[in-house]
Structure 1
Amino acid sequence: MKNKTILSIILALCFATIITKNWHKIIIKKRSQHPPLPPGRKGWPIFGCIPQMMKNKPIHKWIHNIMQELNTEIACIRLGNINVIPVTSPELACEFLKKQDAFFASRPHCMTCQMTSDGYLTAIISPLGDQWKKMKRIIISELLSPAMHRLLHNKVCLEEADQLVKYVYNQCQSPLKDGLLNVRAVARHYCGSATKKIIFGNRFFGIEMEDGGPGMEDEEHMDALFTTLNHFYAFAIADYVPWLEAFDLDGYKKTLKNSVKSMRKYQDPEIDKRVETWGQGIRKTKEDILDVLINLKDSSNNPLLSVQEIKAQITELMFATIDNPSNAVEWALAEMINQPDVLDKAYKELDKVVGRDRLVDESDMPKLNYVKACIKEAFRMYPVAPFNLPHVSTKDMVVGGYFIPKGSHVILSRSGLGKNPRIWEDHLKYKPERHIVDESKEVSFVDHELKMFSFSTGRRGCPGVALGSTMVTLILARLLQGFKWSAPPNGPSIDLVQSEQYLLMAKPLIAHASPRLEPHIYVGP
């Protein structure tokens, strides 16, 4: 009996050895059938390149340095068990987001996006599935439709633009300010108040300051929003090795938890209150996005969205509408101040198209090609984030002759595309004229060839292009038409230094403004 047992064990071991060897051959053979992965870094077992990533911050610079060392426009960096594929080639970007878009339209399951979307309840962050389809349909057909844009967004954007001009004018008149303005704060103030009015019907969560600016509550909300954005899809360790989430080694989980909580403490009570007023029949007219979301019905005439879904989607809308326009305006104005000839061309275009007897409005925008070219050049050179949101491959694919395994995270480098020296002549110089190829054609912020990345394209393309384009053009056009801009008296020019950690200006733009229109224009009728 003992001998039979020993014999059985020996036979089992032999069988296992044969199976293991054959399986290994099968794996090798299967891998050999694929083209190679893009050049890059594999790293350690289990953790991949995470140890190197944590040593080389900021991470986006580390990734771009690897690509520069390898002289490649596509790379593969292993983080945990995930292949992260950064891309700086417009041709390959189009392959991923246009030609093969159906296979790269999903989003990753990860800690940071789960925390900011209440478990993937929203349109932008959710992976492919029924929830994404439902929320995307609502965004496109209900919230950002052309009819809604005309009836609500344009009116609100123009009203807030009027408030913006009055606010800057008051700052210019203040002896305490001496004509010096924090342009970053002004741009964010406009984008924030316009977005809140579109969503909630009110400009502020708290009490408006005497000069028309935001109070403490809205300042806290804005700080929390940008803190969340800075840590969202920002290479958190737990996004790639989920079982390390409990240890929160990089502090992302704690930071996000606190920042999202700070945002929601102002947003959620407004939503709860509005739901209650509709339920009690007190409110009967839909006046803003929140009203629209609350009143959506399914085929059985029941609420289409839960209160939790509404809260999550509104948080996502706040993320999507403030950072990009405000960042572009700050960088564009800084560059224009340093290039007086560019600033003068914009002034002349505004005087020719609009004149000085009224303020620019949306009907003027198709004719403001040079102003829009200035914005587009800021989008090209100074994107608000280093990469777009990840696109996840839903099957094994071959792109550009490289094997892209299922589950890979494809990230397009905004700065890598916009500053690719192979594509752009004088790629480090701010030249708005490069975007005006034909004087008769209106400048568009969307580059369908993905030579730069302002708004996304494909199935995950930004549905708010019209709103975002309106907001950013209106801000810069009003600031330029209404005021003469220059560097502060104690400095010959604006210091165009980028933040070491993020892509913002290292210091908020402080510029000198003085009115260039008659006083009654700023006061309004």
Structure 2
Amino acid sequence: MGWPVIGALPLLGGMPHVSLAKMAKKYGPIMYLKVGTYGMVVASTPSAAKAFLKIHYSNFSNRPPSAGATHLAYNAQDMVFSPYGPRWKLLRKLSNLHLLGAKALEDWANVRANELGHMLKSMLGASREGERVVVKDMLTFAIANMIGQVVLSKRVFAEKGAEVNEFKNMAVELMTITGYVNIGDFIPKLAWLDLQGIERKMKSLHKKFDDLFTKMFDEHKATSNIERKGKPDFLDIVMANMDNSEGERLSTTNIKALLLNLFNASIDTSSSTIEWALSEMIKNSKILKKSQQEMDQIIGKNRRLVESDSPNLPYLRAICKEAFRKHPSTPLNLPRVSNEPCTVDDYYIPKNTRLSVNIWAIGRDPDVWENPLEFDPERFLSGKNKNIDLQGNGFELIPFGAGRRICPGTRLGIVMVEYILGTLVHSFDWKLPNDIMEINMEESFGLALQKAVPLEAMVTPRLPLNVYYAN
């Protein structure tokens, strides 16, 4: 039972994925809660998730209105919050064709390799100086530049410094604030009061991002393809499609909203998964050593890991799957809403009911996973879990969601995590600084599941020094 007016909102607490998982153990895999003036249904098992995201996918293809969509995502003009329809289809089509699809990933592989080379040189310098590596900062810098070169034909940050730190803080704040349970989203009559100050923070953060993307947009328009080495980048292609043959017009606002999606989703979700995986490996040195042994055997020690090595590294891929299982970058899927009333597993779901799939709970369900709280990559090397993929086909493991509105960056996310994590593990030995006795594995809830205490580590090169300077 919830409270009068506000319903079950206080029951969610500061870690709603954990609270809802505990409630599901008592009340079952499909729960209906009254949150403010709205109903919310929560799916907490693979079969329940499948029922909503696959069987009834067409009825749950839209997002409910929210302060985040309004104040951060340019009033839902982006790809994430945009209603299912012609504009959403066009944004997704352009993104898949020229940035996130298999062919696009192959075309831009050299960009990821070059940027990772910059990161390795920087880490080698830190090792020589006896400095610790702050993993989150390092990954934010590298991934932002990877995305920047593909989207804008430029490294967004020429060097580490205050500008990088501000961008990282903005990205973390966006993922954190978007994950908050905002009272105004559930009780619209109270939204104008902004009781938690969330909308005020969103508006302030939006202005920072808008200023940044306006600057990027204006600088890009002021240069030509020839100045950008002649190859059209993603922004060139999107701008050429502002008036497209399919009759759907894209505005400058749509494009800036799309940039917001691409930079923040790519950076924060990939970096958090890599950071969690590294933390688990440092915590369990046997896993780290076994992964390095696999790479030494397949790759050797005379060259860097390349993306095409990944299919030949089953243990590395198992580590990545295990990180996605235990530490899903998005613990609760972005909410959806029912367009019409329906019946799911004999339960009546009214129209305008919000859907939340607890991806975190599914990944830790003891009925699905043996010893779910252990970080055990071996579970993916044999038996029933061996062929589970991350593409939303097996509902036991859906870190990117599933169905019609599965994360469009699924392929990119998998490639980035496998490639970057593999390179870091193959290139360096990792240990904690002398003043840190134990890794803090506490979570900080948000749209992306962050480590409460960022990982800091000392690194030692494992390969010949010339490898770190190779292009």
Q: How far apart, in 1, do the equivalents of 2:34 and 2:246 lie?
A: 48
1:421 paired residue among 366, 370, 389: 366
CA contact (8 A) 1:436 1:443 kept: no
CA contact (8 A) 2:115 2:146 kept: yes
CA contact (8 A) 2:120 2:468 kept: yes
Give the CA deviation at 1:486.
2.0
Q: How far apart, in 2, do the equivalents of 1:163 and 1:314 lie?
A: 23
2:274 paired residue among 315, 329, 342: 329
Residue aligned with 1:398, SS: strand
Is residue 520 of structure 1 aligned with residue 466 of structure 2? yes
| Matches for 1:122-521 after TM superposition, within 5 Å | 122-152=78-108, 154-175=109-130, 177=131, 180-205=132-157, 207-208=158-159, 214-277=160-223, 285-296=230-241, 298=243, 304-437=249-382, 444-491=389-436, 493-499=438-444, 503-521=449-467
Q: How far apart, in 2, do the equivalents of 1:316 and 1:301 lie?
A: 23
Name which structure has the greater RCO, CA cutoff 8 Å, separation 6+: 2
Residue aligned with 2:301, SS: coil
CA contact (8 A) 1:43 1:78 kept: no
1:120 paired residue among 76, 79, 102: 76
CA contact (8 A) 1:98 1:458 kept: yes
Residue aligned with 1:514, SS: strand
C-alpha distance 274-190 of structure 1, shift in aligned 2 (>3 A): closer
Q: How far apart, in 2, do the equivalents of 1:93 and 1:303 lie?
A: 32
Residue aligned with 1:238, SS: helix
Counterpart of 2:133, as a letter, is L
Q: What's 1:28 paired with?
A: none
Residue aligned with 2:443, SS: coil
Give the CA deviation at 1:313.
0.9
Give the CA deviation at 1:223.
0.8
- Superposition RMSD on alpha carbons, in Å? 2.6
Q: How far apart, in 2, do the equivalents of 1:117 and 1:274 lie?
A: 21
1:15-65 CA deviation, whole Å, 9 max, x = no partner? xxxxxxxxxxxxxxxxxxxxxxxxxx45424x4334x358x3344443334
C-alpha distance 446-100 of structure 1, shift in aligned 2 (>3 A): same
C-alpha distance 499-296 of structure 1, shift in aligned 2 (>3 A): closer
Q: What's 1:109 paired with?
A: 65
Q: How far apart, in 2, do the equivalents of 1:195 and 1:512 lie?
A: 27
Give the CA deviation at 1:282.
7.7
CA contact (8 A) 2:2 2:11 kept: no
Q: What's 1:81 paired with?
A: 37
Q: How far apart, in 2, do the equivalents of 1:282 and 1:446 lie?
A: 38
CA contact (8 A) 1:111 1:242 kept: no
Q: How far apart, in 1, do the equivalents of 2:155 and 2:89 lie?
A: 31
Q: How far apart, in 1, do the equivalents of 2:206 and 2:178 lie?
A: 11
Q: Structure 2-normalised TM-score?
A: 0.92
CA contact (8 A) 2:71 2:203 kept: yes
Residue aligned with 1:459, SS: coil
Residue aligned with 1:468, SS: helix
Counterpart of 2:121, as a letter, is K
Give the CA deviation at 1:133.
2.5
| Structure 2 gap segments, 5+ residues each | none
Q: How far apart, in 1, do the equivalents of 2:227 and 2:274 lie?
A: 41
Q: How far apart, in 1, do the equivalents of 2:44 and 2:93 lie?
A: 31
Counterpart of 1:44, as a letter, is P
Counterpart of 1:168, as a letter, is M
Give the CA deviation at 1:417.
0.6
Q: How far apart, in 2, do the equivalents of 1:478 and 1:500 lie?
A: 28
Residue aligned with 2:415, SS: helix
Is residue 63 of structure 1 aligned with residue 63 of structure 2? no
Deviates more, 1:223-232 or 1:121-130: 121-130
Give the CA deviation at 1:124.
1.7
Q: How far apart, in 2, do the equivalents of 1:390 and 1:166 lie?
A: 41
C-alpha distance 301-449 of structure 1, shift in aligned 2 (>3 A): closer
Q: How far apart, in 2, do the equivalents of 1:301 and 1:60 lie?
A: 40
Residue aligned with 1:160, SS: helix
Give the CA deviation at 1:412.
0.9
C-alpha distance 292-355 of structure 1, shift in aligned 2 (>3 A): same
CA contact (8 A) 1:349 1:370 kept: yes
1:440-474 CA deviation, whole Å, 9 max, x = no partner? x7874335222122212211012222211111111
Residue aligned with 2:460, SS: strand
Q: How far apart, in 2, do the equivalents of 1:360 and 1:459 lie?
A: 34
Q: How far apart, in 1, do the equivalents of 2:103 and 2:33 lie?
A: 44
Counterpart of 1:112, as a letter, is G
Residue aligned with 1:420, SS: coil
Give the CA deviation at 1:419.
0.2
Deviates more, 1:265-274 or 1:509-518: 265-274
Q: Percent identity at matched positions?
A: 28
For these two proteins, the number of residue pairs brought into alignment is 470
1:167-217 CA deviation, whole Å, 9 max, x = no partner? 111111114x1xx22222222222222122222222234x51xxxxx2211
Q: How far apart, in 1, do the equivalents of 2:248 and 2:118 lie?
A: 36
Counterpart of 1:359, as a letter, is R
1:288-328 CA deviation, whole Å, 9 max, x = no partner? 21122112254569994221111111111112211121111
Q: How far apart, in 2, do the equivalents of 1:237 and 1:92 lie?
A: 27
Q: How far apart, in 1, do the equivalents of 2:413 and 2:111 lie?
A: 13
Residue aligned with 1:460, SS: coil
